[in-house]
């Protein structure tokens, strides 16, 4: 048994059961899966100043093990070099990268929040605030999942967003299967509508690398 066969067997993903698989990555959600993890994929404590980051190439390689088509959804921030870099890597490694400009939501800081943020802090008459990027791809993912319905037997979604509950219900009525890869708290109804649930901790070693944290300002 080679590495690919071992990985798919351990995750219980088989071609006999799931057939043709299309994957949809809600990266705005996925990007934060390991943000608070304190241990690496080998269950070793991370060193001070280290954090786990999802590698776009590694993520694509993992999905390529079982997925015929891989689609990546992410909001682009033209002021942020990291956002632009992520978008470029996604275009190079996924079958399709769907982007749109993010919105900036003003969030006023409460006691204790200021010391825990790495974002630029602004201030007006109401107090100190940061801008939080917001970009939702629920509609785009749902439309594409329906648009390509005849091309796959199984939809694989990487997201923990409860808003996809209704999409799963529709997909199942079309006699298709659903694989959900998610992290943290996930609504029970969403998990119950999936044929296979994979906790993101199980694939940590396949899609992340260790990076030095940015220094607090």
CB 208 within 8 A of CB 58: yes
Q: For residue 209, which of 15, 38, 52 has the smallest C-alpha distance?
A: 52
Task: Share the mean pLDDT of the chain.
Answer: 90
Tokens of 164: 């996809």
Average the pLDDT over 97-124 and give the result.
Answer: 80
Instruction: Indicate the pLDDT class of residue 118, thresholds 50, 70 and 90.
Output: low
Average the pLDDT over 171-190 and give the result.
Answer: 94
Give the ranges where 51-137 is alpha helix by DSSP (H). Answer: 56-64, 81-93
3-state DSSP of 61-77: HHHHCCCCEEEEEEEEC
Model pLDDT, residue 41: 84
pTM of the model: 0.85
Residue 65: other Cβ atoms inside 10 A: 15
Average the pLDDT over 114-127 and give the result.
Answer: 77
Q: Is 157 exposed, middle or buried, given 0-12, 13-18 or 19+ CB atoms closer than 10 A?
A: buried
Q: For residue 97, which of 67, 72, 60, 70 has the smallest C-alpha distance?
A: 72
Model pLDDT, residue 217: 43
Share of the chain above pLDDT 90, in %: 61
C-alpha 102/C-alpha 105 separation (Å) is 10
Q: pLDDT tens-digit profile of 137-150? A: 999 999 999 999 99
Which helix (H) or strand (E) segment holds residue 25: the answer is strand 21-26
Model pLDDT, residue 106: 80
Instruction: Indicate the pLDDT class of residue 3, thresholds 50, 70 and 90.
Output: low
Q: pLDDT tens-digit profile of 157-168? A: 999 998 999 999
Instruction: Indicate the pLDDT class of residue 215, thresholds 50, 70 and 90.
Output: low
Model pLDDT, residue 167: 96
C-alpha 129/C-alpha 209 separation (Å) is 31
- For residue 153, the 8-state DSSP code is S
DSSP bridge partners of 31: none
Q: What domains are there in the chain, each with its CATH number?
A: 3-101+135-212 (3.40.50.1010)
CB 183 within 8 A of CB 165: no
Instruction: Indicate the pLDDT class of residue 216, thresholds 50, 70 and 90.
Output: very low
């Amino acid at each position: 048994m080679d590495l690919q066969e071992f990985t798919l067997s351990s995750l219980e993903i088989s071609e006999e059961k799931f057939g043709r698989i299309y994957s949809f990555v809600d990266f705005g959600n996925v990007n934060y899966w390991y943000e608070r993890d304190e241990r690496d994929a080998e269950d070793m404590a991370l060193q001070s100043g280290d954090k786990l980051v999802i590698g776009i190439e590694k993520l694509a390689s993992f999905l390529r093990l079982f997925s015929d088509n891989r689609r990546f959804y992410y909001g682009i921030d033209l002021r942020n070099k990291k956002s632009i870099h992520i978008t470029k890597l996604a275009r190079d490694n996924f079958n399709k990268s769907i982007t749109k400009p993010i919105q900036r939501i003003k969030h006023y800081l409460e006691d204790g929040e200021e010391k825990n943020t790495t974002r630029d802090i602004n201030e007006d008459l109401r107090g100190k605030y940061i801008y939080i990027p917001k970009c939702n791809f629920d509609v785009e993912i749902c439309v594409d999942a329906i648009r390509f319905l005849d091309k796959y037997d199984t939809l694989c979604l990487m997201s923990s967003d409860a808003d996809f509950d209704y999409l799963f219900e529709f997909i199942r009525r079309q006699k298709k299967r659903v694989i959900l890869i998610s992290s943290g708290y996930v609504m029970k109804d969403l998990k119950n509508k999936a044929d296979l649930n994979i906790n993101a901790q199980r694939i940590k070693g396949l899609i992340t690398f260790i990076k030095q944290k940015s220094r607090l300002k």
